[in-house]
Structure 1
Amino acid sequence: MRATEVAVRVDRRRAILDAAGPVFGDAGYERANVDQIASAAGVSKPTVYAYFGSKEELFRETMADVARQVNAASYHAVVALDLGPDRWREGLRTLAVALTRCQREGCAASLSRLVLAEARRDPLVFELVRRAGYEPIREALAGRLAMLGNAGRLEIDDPRRAAEDFLALTQARLPDLTAGGTLPGDEAAIADAVQAGVETFLRAYSVR
């Protein structure tokens, strides 16, 4: 396949995914119309099926693609974590707030609600979104926490487990405070809950 043909295929695939995200987001899986997606992408309906095979596969790949996009800010926040000897504690607090804010932004909140709504019908959707969105963040955070462990600032035996604990503790009360992601929530209450989670994490992983 020539380079120009490959570029055309990539462009069409990108156009279809970009068109499918808003349609699935607004209508959900059942009510979403492939004809509408094709029209918005500037391709024919058979072209959509040629690239993705079925509406279900298009939905899965669209959700994973949206997860990668909406979690990009979270990933960059993790990578930017300040590990300086006098700044790492405050860096963790700042990171926790940033991650919580990313999870509550419009696209991320909509994605979470849609995935949860469709997961019973198609459990693979949840797994694909987890791999595309959550796991890169967890792995990046595990790497940063491992560095803190190696520097003797935290006691980290299992960096991946520590990263999971950090995310769980700092975001544990979000569903209650935001009505399952349907409301913005009170910023002060959310900030207090997030910081309480950070302090619990620090107590658990402080060097003994």
Structure 2
Amino acid sequence: MRDEELLTAAAIGDAAAVREAVTEGADVEARDARRRTPLLLAAAADHVEVAQILVSAGADPNALDSQHDTPWLVTGVTGSVAMMRVLLPAGPDLTITNRYGGVSLIPACERGHVDYVREVLRTGIDVDHVNDLGLTALLEAVVLGDGSEPYQEIVRLLLAAGADPHLADGHGVTPFEHAVGRGQMRIAALLRDATGPRA
């Protein structure tokens, strides 16, 4: 019963109820029907105070649910820098991948989460990780972005962090070629300047 109360409280962001449930012995690794833990529920809804309580109680930032999400991975989807900072001291596995084979950086680039991308790149996460769709963070920013200023800034950040502009998708199309094909001329210019001849 306490476990169910903890899951519900975490999902709705009731920090007082979460603290009480944890104090009274609820399992911080309890699972709902989709195998989501209280910390994953809190992370998905960006309930930062709840996450702080759970992390202090030893909750696992790498606990996988039935969709292959973890508390850490969902921060890339929400783009919450505050949640990322709460989870980092808990020791998230930066190499863990979602159901598409991507690390947390990739969905953040897809969704245009500039502040998150800037912060997560400081963790040493693999900037050139290739997901199961054959896409890197740089490719996702171009292929799934709209070329607007947030995506331009993400491309700048990725390149500054050492992203390889030569890495093509599974069909051999480079980020530059994708940008040109989508009319993203400012991003194409950034990539052209970064590409140069191969070493």
Q: Is TM-score (shorter-chain normalized) higher than 0.5?
A: no
Higher RCO (CA 8 Å, separation ≥ 6 residues): 1
- TM-score of the pair, normalised by structure 2: 0.33
- TM-score of the pair, normalised by structure 1: 0.32
Greater gyration radius:
1
